[in-house]
Amino acid sequence: MEIVKNASLGPVRVDGLDSNWPTQVDPLQDGISSVELIRVSGSDIDIVNAARVSFGKITTKIEPKDDKLIRYLLRHLHTSPFEHNQLSFRIKTPLFVARQWMRHRMNSYNEISYRYVKSKLEFYIPADWRYQDQDNRQASFGKFQDEELLNKYQVALQQASQAYNDLLEAGVCREQARGLLPLCTYTEFIFTCNLHSFMHFIKLRTAAGAQWEIQVFAQAMLDLARPYFPVALDEWQKICSEQGL
């Protein structure tokens, strides 16, 4: 996975984290896709303090007993202490990935509107084709190359692009012309969640049955978020591994 330094907002900073830690990646490695971590509020300390407020206690530094507490909370499904934090990402992804993504409703989204602006007409072109899984109707497997199919795909995109531009030049409003845009058109949105919701998203979208394109976005977000919640995310991944998830 290619990693690039965030050039627009600068590195997100937390105590003890290298200021040069990357905050942006290109999950699909096509020079267009992007996951950018734009803001983090909270850390492992906030998880501990949310749990210990019941006893009127507070800490300012993670100690071994705090690691143990976080592990206990995760393993016994005490999830509310993981909700007193926030992560925000700027996502650039094909429309079909975004529509899968937004099935996760316990989060906040704001997306670019092609009612307001003309589409940049950037399209996701797969590097490989996959076969349809015959047992799982929503799944795929393997990969293969076929230049003829790639040419058909690209010709269809060119035709859709030309028709979209023709409608706009003829005076058709953007909100109607956008109906011609293929599902592989790139869109952008801000995705904000707490750590509890984040872990749920990552568990589902890195699973073997998830579509490959959203799997690589989910893994990219996990890689970017891990340094900010190292105890919680490391322990959570151990639990998932133990459960075969």
Domain ranges of the chain: 2-125+186-242
Report the sign of the C-alpha dihedral through residues 30, 35, 38, 42, in that order.
Answer: negative
Q: What is the pLDDT of residue 158?
A: 98
How does pLDDT run across 17-58, given as a tens digit for each residue?
A: 556 667 899 999 999 999 999 999 999 999 999 999 988 888
CB half-sphere exposure, 70, CA atoms < 13 A? 26
Length of the chain: 245
Instruction: Calculate the CA 138 to chain-centre distance.
Output: 20
Given a contact cutoff of 8 angstroms between Cβ atoms, the answer to whether 3 and 34 are in contact is no
What is the pTM assigned to this prediction? 0.89
Q: What is the pLDDT of residue 152?
A: 97
Choose which CATH entry (2.40.160.10, 3.30.1360.170, 3.40.1360.10, 3.40.50.150) describes domain 2-125+186-242: 3.30.1360.170
- Segment-wise mean pLDDT, segments of 10 residues, the chain, 245 residues: 35 49 89 96 95 86 90 94 96 97 94 95 96 84 94 98 98 97 98 97 93 97 95 94 80
Orientation angle between helical segments 212-225 and 195-205, nearest 10 degrees: 140
Q: What is the pLDDT of residue 19?
A: 60
**Considering 52, 90, 103, 205, which one is annotated as catalytic?**
205
Is 205 one of the annotated active-site residues of the chain? yes
Query: Based on C-alpha coordinates, what's the Rg of the chain?
Result: 21
